[in-house]
Amino acid sequence: MSVAKQFGANLSRLRERADTTQEDLAFRASLHRTEIGLLERGGRIPKIDTLAKLAGALEVEPGALFEGIRWEPGNVRLGHFETAGGPED
């Protein structure tokens, strides 16, 4: 599942748990109702200020909207400068 879809599923679940409509959530978060629909369908990823508004309107910690979303870093190789004689400190 994509990040946008997972975020949308979390938003929808938390909104339903709060027993509120998309329209009411939009009003409480100072957003347009269509924005809530786009987010819940995974059509958009929110900016950080929108995330804060949603969490506040739902009365949850922002992290609740990230449930099931995790970044797994790949292999990382740190770079360094080299001189003709080998690595430089």
Query: Above 70 in pLDDT, residue 86?
Result: no
**Per-residue confidence (pLDDT) for residue 29, from 0 to 100:** 98
Is the pTM higher than 0.75? yes
pLDDT of residue 85: 66
Delineate the domains of the chain, giving CATH numbers in brackets: 3-66 (1.10.260.40)
* Averaged pLDDT for residues 8-22: 97
How much is the pLDDT for 89? 55
pLDDT of residue 31: 97
Mean pLDDT of 36-43: 97
The gap from C-alpha 86 to its chain's centroid, in whole angstroms, comes to: 44
How open is the CA angle 66-2-31, to the nearest 5 degrees? 55
Q: What is the DSSP string of 64-82?
A: GGGTT-------------E
